[in-house]
Amino acid sequence: MTACSDDTLWISDSNVLHKVKIERNTMKIIDAKDIKIYDMACIPSKDLLIVSKGSALREISGKTGEVTNSKYEVKDLLLSAVHVSSDGKVTVGGFRGKLRYPPVGRRAVIVMDRNGKHETTYEYDKQGNPIFTNICNITRTKNGNICIVDRLSKDARGRVVILSEDGDVLNTFHGHPEVNVSFQPMHSRTAISESIIVSNLSCSILYFLNKSGNFIGWCDTNKKGISHPYSFSSTKAGCIYIGCTTPEGISDNAKIYEVNIL
Kindly write down the DSSP assignment for every residue of 88-133, as one continuous string: S-EEEEEESS---SS--S-EEEEEE-TT--EEEEE-B-TTS-B--S
128 domain-assigned: yes
pLDDT band at 49 (very low <50, low <70, confident <90, very high): very high
> Position 185: which residue type?
P
Query: Taking 70 as the threshold, does the pLDDT of residue 176 lie above it?
Result: yes
8-state DSSP, 208: E
Nearest to 132 by CA among 176, 175, 162: 162
pLDDT at 251: 57
Q: pLDDT (tens digit, 9 = 90+) per residue, 135-163?
A: 999 999 999 999 999 999 999 999 999 99
Q: pLDDT (tens digit, 9 = 90+) per residue, 51-96?
A: 998 999 999 999 999 999 999 999 999 999 999 999 999 999 999 9
What mean pLDDT value characterizes the chain? 92
- Say if residue 253 is exposed, middle or buried (CB neighbours under 10 Å; 0-12, 13-18, 19+): exposed
pLDDT band at 261 (very low <50, low <70, confident <90, very high): low
> Position 165: which residue type?
E
224 domain-assigned: no
Give the Cα separation of 244 and 262 in Å (integer). Answer: 16
Task: Tell me what the mean pLDDT of segment 110-117 comes to.
Answer: 98
Biggest alpha carbon distance in the chain? 53
pLDDT band at 250 (very low <50, low <70, confident <90, very high): low
229 domain-assigned: no
Beta-bridge partner residues of 115: none
Conformational region of residue 152, where left means phi above 0, alpha means psi within -120 to 50, and beta covers everything else: alpha
Task: Tell me what the mean pLDDT of segment 232-255 comes to.
Answer: 78
8 domain-assigned: yes
Beta-bridge partner residues of 23: 26
pLDDT at 249: 63
Q: Which residues contact 180 (CB under 8 A, 6 or more apart)?
A: none
71 domain-assigned: yes
Give the Cα separation of 20 and 84 in Å (integer). Answer: 21
8-state DSSP, 179: S
Nearest to 226 by CA among 203, 249, 248, 208: 203
Q: In 211-235, which positions are buried (b, 16+ CB within 10 angstroms) versus exposed (e)?
A: bebeeeebbebeeeebbbbbbbbbb
209 domain-assigned: no
Number of domains in the chain: 1
Query: Taking 80 as the threshold, does the pLDDT of residue 252 lie above it?
Result: no
Query: Taking 80 as the threshold, does the pLDDT of residue 253 lie above it?
Result: no
Of the candidate ranges 103-107, 187-191, 228-232, 233-237, the one whose mean pLDDT is the lowest: 233-237
Q: What is the CATH number of the domain that holds 185?
A: 2.120.10.30
Give the structural domain span for 79: 2-190
Task: Tell me what the mean pLDDT of segment 212-222 comes to.
Answer: 95
26 domain-assigned: yes
